[in-house]
Amino acid sequence: MSRAYLSCIDPACGQSHPLALKMPKCGACGSLLDVAYEFDRVAPADLRRLWRDRLSTSHAADRSGVWRFRELLSFLPSTISPVTLGEGATPLVEAPRAGRWAGEVRLSAKHLGANPTGSFKDLGMTACISAALSVRAQVVACASTGNTSSSMAAYAARAGLPAVMFVPHQGISAAKLVQAAEFGARVIEVRGTFDDAFCLLEAVAAERSLHVVNSINPFRIEGQKTAVVELLEQRGWRAPDFLVLPGGNLGNVSAMGKGLRELAALGLLDRPPRLAVIQAAGAAPFYRGWDSGRAIEPVAHPETEASAIRIGRPANWPKARRELEWTRGLVESVTDGEIAEAKAALAADGIGCEPASAATVAGVRKLRQRGRIPPASEVVIILTGHQLKDPDYILRHQAGPEDKSHVIIDADPDAARRALDTLLAG
Ligand SMILES: *Cc1c(COP(=O)(O)O)cnc(C)c1O
Ligand SMILES: [Zn+2]
């Protein structure tokens, strides 16, 4: 098996640390950490065949879209079995109408909302909670805009670990809150933003021995990076021109970039897709800071209806910048109005998703208009969350009193005929 260790991402420090480190950051300089590997040399064709053959077994780790690629996640001791709920193995679907709407691109969607708790966070959580067991964590905790906590709650329940979530008071959707509640997570609602909740957790985590499972935990990134491996396998190992993600705390774009780098190092990828990160205009510190090349300016009061990316101080920005630089990446911001239009464009293709996920299509359209994405490009968007994660959003946007596609009638055939005449007129 290949050797794994933790490595500081700051080139000026570059310290290595043992995998069993309890702290999610570098003890020498406080920077973020990577899980780093010395991979065994395996022929690319052999790896591809091994991964494909696992699809036909009934072993739980082989059925997981994360652990099927376990040669790329060789950090668990042999005594620990992965904590899995059958995550991954998500669909890649074409989105022709949304592609036309965005400006004549060949668009498809990798739908990570089709995960056990309805978001891509499950890909990271299976890895992170498994790693937590290997260091005998007693209590896991996160700050969340809703999906991290739903996912943590499910995987912690599965692992038999207590879980505590810090969430912005009235800042997360009811659907996400009830998921976590059903899985038995303890809820601390903080009067403040996500960033306030995260600061609070960081302030008390060490003294209370809370094992933090936010995306600054490098094992989260390891699970999430497999989405890009599965995507390339689904495309016959042909990269698209662009891979587009919404950006909140910037863990997911960091994960995609790391996955692509490792695939390239193993000879499984010739040319990476260009990564594009889309932020909501009211919560776009990374977009604003991208060109300057300096540390980003946090946004004190992030505002957007896309609550999953309502983050003003993205913790993973140095990793995100690194991955965008080597893939010649793009960063864009879109308004809430543009997100709503993009969501409708996807719905016309029969594809539902969270508002934050729809920011990708809105971003593609803007990048097309600016000439940054050429026409007829092959573009894959990452849909990060399930349509039903935020039903209130859809009610606000679709089902107002002026909604012409919805009537209430008595149980009477004539009333049904009249209703059909109105609803299907024109
Ligand atoms: C967490 C989340 C995001 C943001 O991902 P980051 O890794 O924080 O950038 C986007 N969309 C959804 C639905 C999410 O749950
Ligand atoms: Zn360091």
Give the tens place of pLDDT for each residue, 94-145.
999 999 999 999 999 999 999 999 999 999 999 999 999 999 999 999 999 9
Burial track 221-244 (b if 16+ CB lie within 10 A, e otherwise):
bbbbbbbbbbbbbeeeeebbbbbb
Least confident range from 55-59, 293-297, 337-341: namely: 293-297
pLDDT in the model for residue 240: 98
The CB of 254 under 6 Å from ligand 1? The reply is no
The CB of 215 under 6 Å from ligand 1? The reply is yes
DSSP string for residues in 102-133: TTS-EEEEEEGGGSTTSBTHHHHHHHHHHHHH
* % of the chain at pLDDT higher than 70: 99
- The closest alpha carbon to 234, from 108, 383, 358, belongs to 108
DSSP string for residues in 69-88: GGGG-TTS-TT-----SS--
The rounded distance, in Å, linking the Cα atoms of 314 and 55 is 36
The CB of 277 under 6 Å from ligand 1? The reply is no
Give the tens place of pLDDT for each residue, 136-178.
999 999 999 999 999 999 999 999 999 999 999 999 999 999 9
Q: Is 385 helix (H, G, I), strand (E, B) or coil?
A: strand
Q: Is pLDDT above 60 for 82?
A: yes
The rounded distance, in Å, linking the Cα atoms of 52 and 233 is 9
8 A C-beta contact, residue 312 and residue 193: yes
pLDDT in the model for residue 425: 87
Q: How does the average pLDDT of the chain come out, rounded?
A: 96
* % of the chain at pLDDT higher than 90: 93
Q: Residue 66 C-alpha to ligand 1 middle, in angstroms?
A: 18
Q: Is pLDDT above 90 for 23?
A: no
**For residue 34, which phi and psi values (nearest 5 degrees)?**
-105, 150
Neighbours of 206 (CB within 10 A): 11
pLDDT (mean) for 257-278: 97
Q: Is pLDDT above 60 for 202?
A: yes
Q: Is pLDDT above 90 for 413?
A: yes
Q: Is 35 helix (H, G, I), strand (E, B) or coil?
A: strand
The CB of 247 under 6 Å from ligand 1? The reply is yes
pLDDT in the model for residue 311: 96
Starting at the edge strand found earlier in the chain, the sheet holding 210-212 runs 186-190, 163-168, 139-143, 210-212
Give the tens place of pLDDT for each residue, 358-411.
999 999 999 999 999 999 999 999 999 999 999 999 989 986 656 778 899 999
Each domain of the chain, given as residue ranges in start order, spans 1-38, 92-118+220-398
CA 200, distance to chain mean position in Å, is: 23
What's the pTM? 0.97
Q: Facing residues of 107 across strands? A: 379
- φ/ψ region of 191 (left if φ > 0, alpha if ψ in -120 to 50, else beta) reads beta
Q: What is the dihedral of CA 11, 16, 19, 24, to 10 degrees?
A: -50
- The closest alpha carbon to 234, from 349, 109, 138, belongs to 109
The rounded distance, in Å, linking the Cα atoms of 45 and 23 is 37
pLDDT in the model for residue 20: 86
- Sequence-distant (6+) residues with CB within 8 A of 146 are 167, 172, 173, 176, 177, 307, 308, 389
- The closest alpha carbon to 90, from 61, 123, 124, belongs to 123
Q: Residue 29 C-alpha to ligand 2 middle, in angstroms?
A: 4
| pLDDT-based confidence at residue 310 (cuts at 50, 70, 90) | very high
The CB of 390 under 6 Å from ligand 1? The reply is no
Query: What fold characterizes domain 92-118+220-398?
Result: Rossmann fold (3.40.50)
pLDDT in the model for residue 2: 74
pLDDT in the model for residue 1: 55
Regarding predicted confidence, which is higher, 312 or 292? 312
Residue nearest to ligand 1 atom 2, measured at CA: 308
